[in-house]
Amino acid sequence: MKKVTVSQMRAIDNRTINEYGLSALVLMEHAGKAVADETRKLLDKRRRKAAVFCGPGNNGGDGLVAARWLHHYGMEVEVFFLGNLAKSSLETRLNFDITENLRLPLHWIQDNWPSLKEQIGYFNLIIDGLLGIGAHGQVLGLYKNIIDDLNANGVKIISIDIPSGLNADTGQPLGSCLSAAVTVTLGFPKIGFSRPGAKKYTGKVVVADIGLIDK
């Protein structure tokens, strides 16, 4: 399977949506379900508790879909949301509304992170939907604090598309980067995954077919 750069991935997304008419909402649904299905394989059958960390981008929207599917599968799941929802895509906002309608436990991460992080040991798996392939520059502020704390906690992490804080083209961390046990990458593996040292952050890479059209 070919490996793609960020610009190539965006071009494939755009063609799928704008030329072929497959909606971004459908793609997000496929992505989130693929992550949830992979998560089921990793969750201990006796302790089925997952924390889903979502940023305001479409990576976070995928995480919201994954949380909904895990809830549908009868698992205990809580969402931790960081960022300005008003700047999110329509698809992410719609899935946020569904999360609220389902009354899934939802935590807004602000300056309350020091108290929220004490809850992480309650979960036996973390789904990472904080930052996607569009992340660039050094990871700073609250994102850096969360990434560093999640790494230090030792709870198994499954990343959506790419570990938060990893450069998708170079495979190098943007300062702080989550170390995932599994990365469920969407559509195609990213070219940076094959760079020296990237596996330390990606863990096992699972490629999820979400219906992208590359013709």
Domain-embedded: residue 195:
yes
pLDDT of residue 45: 64
* pLDDT given for residue 19 in this prediction: 95
Q: Which two tokens stand for residue 32?
A: 């989130």
DSSP 3-state of 78:
strand
Does residue 1 lie within any of the structural domains? no
Which domain does 135 fall in, by range?
A: 6-208
Residue 143 placed within a domain: yes
CA 138, 164, 87, 24 torsion-angle sign: positive
Is the sign of the CA dihedral 107, 110, 112, 116 positive or negative?
positive
Residue type, 143: Y
The tally of domains found in the chain comes to 1
| Residue spans of the chain under pLDDT 50 | none
pLDDT one-digit tens code per residue, 68-110: 999 999 999 999 999 999 999 999 999 999 999 999 999 999 9
Residue 182 to residues 82, 89, 133, 140, 178, Cα–Cα distance (Å):
22, 26, 16, 24, 11
pLDDT tens column, 19-28: 999 999 999 9
Among left, alpha and beta (phi > 0; psi -120 to 50; other), residue 116 is alpha
Q: Does some domain include residue 70?
A: yes
Any idea what the CATH number is for the domain that residue 154 is in? 3.40.50.10260
Is residue 214 in a domain?
A: no
Domain assignment present for residue 42? The answer is: yes
* Lookup result for tokens 């995928």: 62
Q: Is residue 213 part of a domain?
A: no
Is the model's pTM score more than 0.75? Answer: yes
The verdict on residue 215 lying in a domain is no
Residue 45 burial (C-beta neighbours within 10 Å; 0-12, 13-18, 19+): exposed
